[in-house]
Chains A and B, each alone.
Chain A
């Protein structure tokens, strides 16, 4: 039982990081119907920004998170402007292929020696690790920070989307762009805001991932990115609470697979979930019917 609880905590830690990435996938899909395959690489850039902030610029950890979030927000907005916006009215497949191109570009460009270089780097520890014993189950201060920061960001996002004027306008754009325009909403601005917020969350996720699994390299975004994408599909792509739910399930299932079955099988199980969802419930756990509104 304590082993089970221990694995559950480890799974939640992974799940919360996935959630921060999955939110960006789902928000971007909700507003422009695009799977932004470069999103996992934005997460990687976030991890590196956090690395530089702490290791090179000696900034405290909370500031490092902010640096990563702001930097990634700017990167996300920039990517949308130069790569996706020109294709706004092109067939969807063009934008999808472009997203893969952007992803490959970021991965290979950052792999160059004058950029980050291919060698893995050890992530700085902003503080000593301490573990607390809760009746046999141990939880580290790193895990507590991952939980706290993720939950704070998710609550902030939910409040922003549901309560603020800009959040309302973002939802309006995702429901009906032309009618949103008639309300006086600048659709391009809202799309930028969405890319910015989604990328900022991925940036925060990158820093948390860095302190929790303390090694980073330019290809580190591929797997978490794909799994967060599966999580977004599992929860129902385009649905914000769905991404959080799907990501937590993914993290826990993956950790349990490693713990109880075999760690070599965990990726197979993760992507098996994607196949299963697409076969059984393509709209995801929280998705509504497929019928498109006219």
Chain B
């Protein structure tokens, strides 16, 4: 397994946000965590990235134990998070944002990574010298993902990539996600848009306040009556 999470517990002060969740992602796989607002999806990603320290449980990435490690070291290992809300460095140009994404890469690697990003997101190439703050919502999502790709992730964690985008853009973003995956990058996708997430993912976990309540192949979960009524509006 590329990523293996066991009994992960996260507390915010006295409030327990995750009550011991377990899941895994294989090399080259797309796995999605679906759940409502407040289910703990973002907390899970932040714990994996080292932005919050888990209270209990273990996280293994590429056979290395990474729970409790500092955020910047996790990124270096190839576990890269694209944060919720895109979080561009607004005052900086698109180019500077991308270069920051490749912070731990050498000059030659950065050139190659940038070419790869332009293949997936040709629009970023046109906007290179623009301040990131001037981009549209869809472009910002592309920038956030492009910035993540600059780090040469082995597992790319995407937090709500479809948030606030028009249906056409959502389609486009999801097809790019599939494309990135086809080129060999595993993806852990956190989404409220369960319909789209279950369409691209191979496997899925349903998170309900702090616990994994259902899991299985995405195809099966799409047919599950509980998932249908709670997340697919059917």
Contact of B89 with A184 in the complex, beta carbons under 8 Å: no
Select which of B72, B89, B91, B100 is within 8 A of A187 by beta carbon: B72
Secondary structure of the A contact surface, majority rule: helix
Q: How far is the CB of A179 from chain B (nearest CB, A)?
A: 4
Q: How far is the CB of B46 from chain A (nearest CB, A)?
A: 8
Chain B residues, Cβ within 8 Å of A85: none
Chain B residues, Cβ within 8 Å of A293: 90
A169 within 8 A of B: yes
A281 within 8 A of B: no
A185 within 8 A of B: yes
Query: Taking A171-B89, A186-B70 as contacts, is the C-beta distance between A179 and B103 under 8 angstroms?
Result: no
Query: Taking A178-B51, A179-B83, A179-B87 as contacts, is the C-beta distance between A184 and B92 under 8 angstroms?
Result: no
Question: Contact size class for B?
Answer: 20 to 34
Contact of B81 with A182 in the complex, beta carbons under 8 Å: yes
Contact of A185 with B100 in the complex, beta carbons under 8 Å: yes
A58 within 8 A of B: no
A88 within 8 A of B: no
Chain B residues, Cβ within 8 Å of A185: 72, 100, 103
Chain A residues, Cβ within 8 Å of B90: 175, 293
B71 within 8 A of A: yes
A92 within 8 A of B: no
Q: Mark A168-201, 1 if CB is under 8 A from B, else 0.
A: 1101100110111111111100000000000000
A130 within 8 A of B: no
Chain A residues, Cβ within 8 Å of B70: 181, 186
Q: How far is the CA of A6 from the CA of B89 in the complex (A)?
A: 44
Question: Contact size class for A?
Answer: 10 to 19
Contact of B71 with A182 in the complex, beta carbons under 8 Å: yes
Q: Looking across the interface, which residue of chain B has its beta carbon closest to that of A293?
A: B90
Query: Taking A183-B101, A183-B103 as contacts, is the C-beta distance between A168 and B151 under 8 angstroms?
Result: no
Q: How far is the CB of A41 from chain B (nearest CB, A)?
A: 31
Q: How far is the CA of A196 from the CA of B81 in the complex (A)?
A: 30
Q: How far is the CA of A182 from the CA of B87 in the complex (A)?
A: 11
B76 within 8 A of A: yes
Chain A residues, Cβ within 8 Å of B87: 176, 178-179
Contact of B151 with A184 in the complex, beta carbons under 8 Å: yes
Contact of B99 with A168 in the complex, beta carbons under 8 Å: yes
B147 within 8 A of A: yes
Contact of B100 with A172 in the complex, beta carbons under 8 Å: yes
Contact of A183 with B100 in the complex, beta carbons under 8 Å: yes
Contact of B92 with A171 in the complex, beta carbons under 8 Å: yes
Q: How far is the CA of A176 from the CA of B76 in the complex (A)?
A: 19
Q: Looking across the interface, which residue of chain B has its beta carbon closest to that of A190?
A: B72
Select which of B71, B91, B99 is within 8 A of A178 by beta carbon: B71
A-B contact pairs, 12 of them (CB 8 A): A172-B100, A175-B91, A175-B92, A176-B89, A183-B101, A183-B151, A184-B72, A184-B76, A184-B151, A185-B72, A185-B100, A187-B72
